[in-house]
Amino acid sequence: MKKILFVCVENSARSQMAEAFANHYGKGKVEAYSAGTKIAEKINPIVVKVMAEKGIDISKNKPKPLNAEMAEKADLIITMGCELEDSCPASFLKKAINWEIEGPKGKPIEKVREIRDNIENKVKELLEIL
């Protein structure tokens, strides 16, 4: 079973959605987890809401700090894009693939849905090639 680590800055939105979609669609094929470099206090409530619209409950998830052990055990590391260059995980995760996905923080729910759907499509594409 492949282990996929999704990383973003706060681990409150994009990487949480990617982790949830990968575990949902890749059940038995992949084990996904996520982390951040400057973690938020909680998951973005709008993200919880738009994931619930897809039938996936992430309301009990908590942001997790990235550590070396997580990166070591991952077969694949995907960074979600960087708005904050000083805490961008891509700079020190050398074997990472960067998806360059726009952050949903402070965006209206319609935009967060677009970001969610983009992440869902990218996860599905990834699972097809694994």
Tens-place pLDDT, residues 3-50: 999 999 899 999 999 999 999 999 999 999 999 988 999 999 999 999
Q: What pLDDT sits at residue 89?
A: 58
| Pairs from 122-130 (Cβ < 8 Å, separation ≥ 24) | 122/18, 123/18, 123/21, 123/22, 123/25, 123/26, 124/21, 124/25, 126/4, 126/22, 126/78, 127/22, 127/25, 127/26, 127/29, 127/30, 130/2, 130/26, 130/29, 130/30, 130/76
The third-level CATH classification (topology) of the domain covering 2-129 is Rossmann fold (3.40.50)
- Rounded to an integer, the average pLDDT of 95-108 is 91
129: Cβ contacts below 8 Å, ≥ 6 apart: none
Whether this model's pTM surpasses 0.85: yes
DSSP string across 5-45: EEEESSSSSHHHHHHHHHHHHTTTTEEEEEEESS--SS--H
Tens-place pLDDT, residues 55-94: 999 999 999 999 989 999 999 999 998 654 555 655 556 6
Q: What pLDDT sits at residue 96?
A: 83
Q: Contact at 8 Å (CB) between 101 and 80?
A: yes
